[in-house]
């Protein structure tokens, strides 16, 4: 660990809560898919702030929008209207199923809003939300309760009432869990935190049929899969299933904190003044950044390029599997969210593999204790993909 990185780490550890397992690197500059640390070392970023920096670091159009808006108006609260918030909502409505948008500051807050909307719109006595085992929906108490991984519950019990978790992939079990108190089913089209685990189209269509059968609301958590990550603007577009409520965050502001809940005008009518709010939600600077992000992303050819390069990435990762069968068992994902699934022996070395890649100047992570996860900026090039795969092959060959 070099001197400036070490100095920043040591000083930070004296003032920050120790709830993160941080790498011993202080990042100070970014451009495109590259990052630099405090000692000037360059890294190739295949993590993108965990699927956040969709257009890469310091994209010129986003940076210009942030600087321009910061010089005009930073904050006024939602007691007033602002132009950037209106423009962003218009873009989201024009390019999704939704008629109405609520803005928050994060994915967890967007999911909180979705849960509250589902409850209030469903009426008295209907409050239970069923999500799936292996899911991840946030770190607030309600979204932790909705998360289908008990490791996130530990130490915070008792969990809020009204949440249960259906076995993954089992429609019969899900149907049997539905009661008169159930108001919604909440799921991610791809479970990112449990190792990039896609929900099959037939499975999601089956969930939708259960919602129709029992008069339930379907909530899609597209916090990680939305905003171009899967090669379409939102993942639901590829699945033949349209949700009643959808949440988004991560890539929306290309690094600025922003989340959104999207829904129909009929459901949105349940949230009258006083029922829900966010002081900073839809902040002018964050929404200006998001408007700039979406204008780049929705331009002709952008998403087609993501799909094309994503397919190339998939093929390069798949080619590694037969070369290292003792460590790798398969590849799963779509667009620019990929998991290189590890064998039991490989999973035991997962964290070590991530560290070895960091030592070589590549940022990836280990998700769900089962897969190496790759969520690079959507602008990543085939040459950069080749560099990553070559370095990964070198690391795997050492084990």
Determine what percent of the chain is predicted with pLDDT higher than 70.
99
User: The domain spanning residue 23 has which CATH number?
Assistant: 3.90.1150.10
pLDDT in tens, 20-62: 999 999 999 999 999 999 999 999 999 999 999 999 999 999 9
pLDDT confidence bin for 2, thresholds 50/70/90: low
Q: Are residues 290 and 208 in the same domain?
A: yes
Q: Are residues 229 and 320 in the same domain?
A: no
Q: What is the mean pLDDT of the chain?
A: 97
Residue 139 within a domain: yes
pLDDT in tens, 356-390: 999 999 999 999 999 999 999 999 999 999 999 99
pLDDT in tens, 88-138: 999 999 999 999 999 999 999 999 999 999 999 999 999 999 999 999 999
Q: Among residues 272, 297, 322, which one ends one of the domains?
A: 297
When pLDDT is averaged across residues 284-309 and rounded to a whole number, the result is 98
Q: Among residues 251, 278, 297, which one ends one of the domains?
A: 297
When pLDDT is averaged across residues 285-299 and rounded to a whole number, the result is 98
The predicted pLDDT at position 1 comes to: 46
Q: Are residues 19 and 101 in the same domain?
A: no
Determine what percent of the chain is predicted with pLDDT higher than 90.
98
- Is the model's pLDDT at 77 over the cut of 80? yes
- Is the model's pLDDT at 391 over the cut of 70? yes
- Is the model's pLDDT at 3 over the cut of 70? yes
Predicted TM-score of the model (pTM): 0.96
Residue 317 within a domain: yes
Q: How many domains does the chain have?
A: 2
Q: Are 35 and 29 in contact (CB under 8 A)?
A: yes
Residue 340 within a domain: yes
Q: Are residues 249 and 326 in the same domain?
A: no
Domain of residue 376, residue span: 3-59+301-397
The predicted pLDDT at position 399 comes to: 73
Residue 68 within a domain: no
Would you give the end-to-end CA distance of the chain in angstroms? 23
Q: What distance in Å separates the CA atoms of residue 129 and residue 219, rounded to the nearest whole number?
A: 10
- Is the model's pLDDT at 262 over the cut of 60? yes
Q: Among residues 252, 272, 297, which one ends one of the domains?
A: 297
């Amino acid at each position: 660990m070099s001197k400036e990185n070490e100095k920043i780490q040591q000083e930070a550890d004296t003032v920050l809560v120790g709830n993160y397992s941080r790498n011993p690197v202080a990042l100070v500059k970014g451009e495109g898919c590259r990052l630099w640390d405090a000692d000037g070392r360059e890294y190739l970023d295949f993590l993108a702030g965990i699927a956040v920096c969709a257009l890469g670091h310091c994209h010129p159009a986003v940076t210009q929008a942030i600087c321009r808006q910061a010089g005009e108006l930073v904050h006024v609260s939602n007691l007033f209207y602002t132009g950037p918030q209106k423009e962003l909502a218009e873009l989201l409505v024009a390019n999704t199923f939704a008629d109405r948008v609520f803005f928050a500051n994060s994915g967890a807050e967007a999911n909180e809003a979705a849960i509250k909307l589902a409850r209030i719109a469903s009426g008295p006595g209907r409050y239970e939300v069923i999500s799936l085992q292996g899911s991840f929906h946030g770190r607030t108490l309600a979204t932790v309760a909705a998360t289908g991984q008990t490791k996130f519950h530990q130490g915070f019990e008792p969990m809020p009432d009204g949440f249960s978790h259906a076995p993954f992939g089992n429609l019969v079990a899900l149907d049997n869990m539905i009661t008169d108190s159930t108001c919604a089913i909440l799921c991610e089209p791809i479970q990112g935190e449990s190792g990039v685990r896609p929900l099959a189209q037939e499975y999601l269509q089956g969930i939708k049929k259960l919602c129709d059968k029992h008069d339930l609301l379907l909530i899609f958590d597209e916090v990680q899969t939305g905003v171009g990550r899967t090669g379409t603007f939102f993942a639901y577009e590829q699945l033949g299933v349209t949700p009643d409520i959808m949440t988004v965050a991560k890539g929306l502001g290309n690094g600025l904190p922003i989340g959104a809940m999207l829904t129909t005008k009929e459901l949105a009518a349940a949230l009258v003044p006083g029922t829900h709010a966010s002081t900073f939600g839809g902040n002018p600077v964050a929404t200006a950044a998001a408007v700039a992000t979406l204008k780049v992303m929705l331009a002709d050819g952008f998403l087609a390029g993501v799909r094309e390069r994503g397919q190339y990435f998939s093929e390069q990762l798949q080619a590694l599997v037969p070369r290292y069968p003792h460590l790798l068992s398969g590849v799963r994902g779509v667009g620019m969210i990929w998991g290189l699934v590890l064998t039991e022996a490989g999973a035991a070395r997962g964290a070590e593999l991530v560290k070895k890649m960091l030592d070589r100047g590549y940022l990836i992570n280990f998700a769900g204790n089962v897969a190496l996860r790759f969520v690079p900026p959507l602008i990543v090039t085939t040459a950069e993909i080749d560099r990553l795969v070559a370095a990964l092959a070198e690391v795997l060959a050492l084990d």
